[in-house]
Structure 1
Amino acid sequence: MKKSSQVHRFGFILLLSLFCTPEMNAQLLKKLGKAAERAAERTVQRRVEKETAKRTDQVLDSILEPGKKGSQNKKGETGMQSGNSGVQNGNDMAAMGASEVDNNEENPASMKVYSKFDFVPGDKPLFFDAFEKEFIGDFPSKWNTNGSGEIITLNDSPEKWLELLPGYKVLYIPDVPSLPEEYTIEFDLMAYGLDNKTSSTAQLQVILSDDANFEQGSNYAHAWIPFGQYAAFGIRVANVINKSSGGIKNTVTADIREAVLNRPHISIAVNKQRYRLWVNEKKYVDIPRMIPNGGVLSTLKFHVDNFKDGKERLFITNVKVNEGGLDLRRTLISEGKVSTNGILFDSGSTNIKPQSMGIIRQISQVLNQEGDMNLKIIGHTDADGDEASNLSLSEKRAQAVVDALVSLYGISSERLVAEGKGESEPLHDNKTEDGKAQNRRVEFIKI
């Protein structure tokens, strides 16, 4: 009872502080008798319940339940849940990135921007990790490091992220099978704490190496994604051949300052020696002979440079590596059908992720070239959820692809048919995350 009384009195003082200036608070607390205090409390409480109940709950939760998942309270304050407790972190610029986390509505303008996106992911999944089965505060089970890191959530989103910590020679290595000659890499980033004082050398280094452990290797290729904000620093690229640095070493002109504040999606395509890199919808790097050692480097690694410890933070999720990345157009024309895992949707939704537009664009090019071709578009889901819901969702997703072909690329709707198969035709085990990722697919079949 004593604790309840203290909480009640604290809550009353907190409510007063939300609506009164410091001078008014001091005078009120000095003059109020018990009867007046109760009356004032009822008045303020009614006002708060009507106008600011949500804000009050957030403040009380942060004090009385510090381990509760954080929430975005005001501009510049972003909640993070880690293995310890809710962490308040960020600034005005970081909040710009946080605003994208729990937005489940697709932005039509963004889809239009991505309509010229020409990245096409590989068609054979090798690795996927969104950390769905990992515990908050743990290091992910499908990764290795010689440093540290942990899984967190951001704001009220169910998505999980791995924090990549800066450190001398600290590397993060996902358990990707040995990389083939042709493959694609994709991942989402979230940065916090960036401002005009962020170092020009604050970067994420993406490394392809012939060393499977924590060394550079004899042959490797690097790209550094910059996060500095006070100038456009460009994307650095370099390769080393047989331990000699006499190969490529350059900075590609790029102003991605705004992009890195707003949850950038990074796409990389390797086709033997050719190396291409996109930030969101724009391709910045396209080097014909970037990959040494005959076009084969076995291991993907990540390294964070010069983020200020405790202030500037970097997180990664949705890491996907696929074998292939070949032109789907030729397959569709020659074989009359093609299946892809590269058209992605928001979880449980028909909203197409804009970075999937490269595939839809290629399909539109085939239809424009082959004027007598009609297509059946079939959606497939994994087995999460009930069967009837998955069947309905798969058909709606197929229809969403039809709608994109019609509205963005001008394809006649009379040439397209949408169909859903739900979870009825799995290609792989739905008990594993990799298997589920491969079962979520879209087929295009000539009719």
Structure 2
Amino acid sequence: MFKRASYFKHALAVLVLLCFIPEALSQTKKIKRPKSRVGISSVDGFVKESFDLYEKVYKYDGYAESGTPLEDEDIDVLEDALDDVSLLSDNAPDILSDLDGENILKQGKATLQINKAKKALTYSIKTSKELLLGERKNKEDEGDGTEKPSDQDNDEELSNSENKSDDNQVGDSNNTTNTLEVLSKFDFVPGDKLIFYDDFSQDFIGDFPSKWNTNGSGELVKINDDSNKWLRLVSGRNTRYIPDIKNLPEEFTLEFDMLTKDLNNKTSSQSYFQILISDNNSFDTGANFAMAEIPLCQFIDRGIIIENNINGKREIRNEIQVDIREQINKRNHISVAINNQRFRVWINETKYVDVPRLLPENLTMKSIKLHLRGMDINKENLYVSNFKVAEGGIDLRQKLLSDGRISTNGILFNSGSSNIKPQSFGIIRQISQVLEQDNSIKLKIAGHTDADGTDDANLKLSKSRAEAVRRALIDVYKIDGSRLISEGKGESEPVGDNSTAEGKSENRRVEFIKQ
């Protein structure tokens, strides 16, 4: 949260002072405070406090423009405001990570409001400094970067669009946001043949999950009001966590959610979370392996480490210089794609690792191993959930063109809703590329659910999810809507066993069928 006791003290001082000062003379291009809330507490708090401070600075700027000198009290308040606005600016939230799980329209609205608040803060910092130095007189027309930024009220348009739409809407064609731009370029494509899935729904809290093995310890936990069960990993020099997979294909993808808690500025520089692909199912690394280590250190910038061993000999070890300290403190979705020797890693929608020859050539890899090291297990925690491994992840475009249809469970939605999760856009992007290449192609998009819930509810949900995918193709990728139709099948055409987590995951799918 951005509220601090000092803010209330300074805000009260400013309000008392401003009650006795007349309105400033005419000013132009004032940034307008957003009229509606986003509904996300961290975003709404940041925007409110940003504009509270901005309006105080803006009013003092009016005095400078009108030639009214600042009194000593005014200068004291401005100095306090400058301290507060600088601190608030430093604590601006990371949009993509803070908005994870929200629908696309809400992400877009929040992005616009945060960008507007950052613009207000930039103006406030610069103007406060110039006012305190006596450099802020008659600069409006000098073209030196001190002119007050204009405001287009895009957030009002997006808000109106959001109010008129339902959960099926993924975006508004007139309001393409930074968030949608990132999603439209996301290129991870999950495999289409499920090998392993575990959301721990069939295990009890406090137990170690039945479909995993370890040489250390760990337990399933619930975290606050989150509906997921999470596997808490224990840090150890050689402790590893291995899902029950016997052999891995040459082409596969791995996805899971990762959550850290209580990392702080003292978190060790040697604290890493390792994802390792190995040639054996034992607890050692194996003679042939490839791995990526995600840094958890907070007090210095540590990069992502990549390493391999080929026939017992290390050929690659390198540190990719990226600062993800803020990012790693939030809930993240990790995606890994293995295509023969190629090894790629995404954290949320950003690709951090792409090494063309990290794995050994022409050798079947047998296991995925997770490893946590360097963490103080009495204070710090790391959890994983929704662990999914699938064969494929190659190129759905050729398959759709050659077979005339594809079925995928890689398009994910928030539980019980039609809000598409951001990590699903790699598949939707490939579908759009097929449609862009051949303008004659028309597609039917069919949604399917598992058997949880009533028939009627599942039919309605499957229809809305298929329509959400259709709207994503239209709104994000600008495909002509007349070329797309959507329908829902509910739970009527299962391909897996609805009594197991894997079967349910297989049944929650979207089909694309050439017409």
TM-score range, shorter chain: 0.7 to 0.9
Aligned with 2:322 (options 242, 254, 262): 254
Aligned with 2:198 (options 129, 132, 157): 129
Instruction: Decide which moves more: 226-235 or 138-147.
Output: 226-235
Secondary structure of 1:409's counterpart equals coil
Partner residue of 1:78? none
Deviation at 1:312, TM superposition (A): 1.1
Structure 2 residue identity aligned to 1:280: N
Secondary structure of 2:218's counterpart equals coil
Contact 2:334 2:347 in 1 (8 A): yes
Contact 1:273 1:295 in 2 (8 A): no
CA offsets, 1:208-259, max 9 Å, x none?
A: 11121111211111110111123331110010111112x0111112222222
Give the 3 Å change call, closer, same or farther, for CA 204–164 of structure 1 in structure 2.
same
Aligned with 2:403 (options 316, 319, 335): 335
Structure 2 residue identity aligned to 1:395: K
Structure 2 residue identity aligned to 1:415: R
Partner residue of 2:341? 273
Aligned with 2:473 (options 405, 412, 415): 405
Deviation at 1:381, TM superposition (A): 0.4
Structure 2 residue identity aligned to 1:306: G
CA offsets, 1:161-204, max 9 Å, x none?
A: 00011012111111123111110011110001112221122110
Secondary structure of 1:304's counterpart equals strand
Partner residue of 2:360? 292
Instruction: Note the residue ranges of structure 1 that are not aligned, 5 or more in a row.
Output: 1-74, 76-92
Structure-1 separation of matches of 2:471 and 2:487: 13
Secondary structure of 1:248's counterpart equals strand
Structure-1 separation of matches of 2:319 and 2:227: 37
Aligned with 2:423 (options 334, 339, 355): 355
Superposed counterparts of 1:37-436, under 5 Å: 105=103, 107-109=106-108, 110-245=179-314, 247-292=315-360, 294-436=362-504
Structure-1 separation of matches of 2:101 and 2:317: 39
Contact 2:273 2:294 in 1 (8 A): yes
Deviation at 1:102, TM superposition (A): 10
CA offsets, 1:345-375, max 9 Å, x none?
A: 1111111110000000111111111111111
Structure-1 separation of matches of 2:363 and 2:107: 38
Structure 2 residue identity aligned to 1:125: L
Give the 3 Å change call, closer, same or farther, for CA 136–102 of structure 1 in structure 2.
farther
Contact 1:96 1:261 in 2 (8 A): no
CA offsets, 1:55-88, max 9 Å, x none?
A: xxxxxxxxxxxxxxxxxxxx9xxxxxxxxxxxxx
Secondary structure of 1:240's counterpart equals strand
Deviation at 1:294, TM superposition (A): 2.1
Deviation at 1:433, TM superposition (A): 0.9
Structure-1 separation of matches of 2:208 and 2:349: 31
Secondary structure of 2:513's counterpart equals strand
CA offsets, 1:368-417, max 9 Å, x none?
A: 11111111100000111111110110000000001111111111111110
CA offsets, 1:125-164, max 9 Å, x none?
A: 0001111121111110111111111111111121110001
Instruction: Note the residue ranges of structure 2 that are not aligned, 5 or more in a row.
Output: 1-44, 46-90, 109-178
Structure 2 residue identity aligned to 1:351: N
| Identical counterparts, % of pairs | 53
Superposed counterparts of 1:7-46, under 5 Å: none
Contact 2:340 2:361 in 1 (8 A): no
Structure-1 separation of matches of 2:299 and 2:183: 27
Structure 1 residue identity aligned to 2:244: D
What's the C-alpha RMSD, in Å, of the aligned pairs?
2.1
Contact 1:266 1:277 in 2 (8 A): yes
Structure 2 residue identity aligned to 1:404: A
Contact 1:111 1:354 in 2 (8 A): no
Structure 1 residue identity aligned to 2:456: A
Give the 3 Å change call, closer, same or farther, for CA 155–105 of structure 1 in structure 2.
farther
Contact 1:102 1:157 in 2 (8 A): no
Structure 2 residue identity aligned to 1:210: D
Contact 1:185 1:269 in 2 (8 A): yes
Contact 1:182 1:270 in 2 (8 A): yes
Secondary structure of 1:150's counterpart equals strand
Q: Which runs of 4+ in 1 moved over 4 A?
A: 99-107
Secondary structure of 2:362's counterpart equals helix
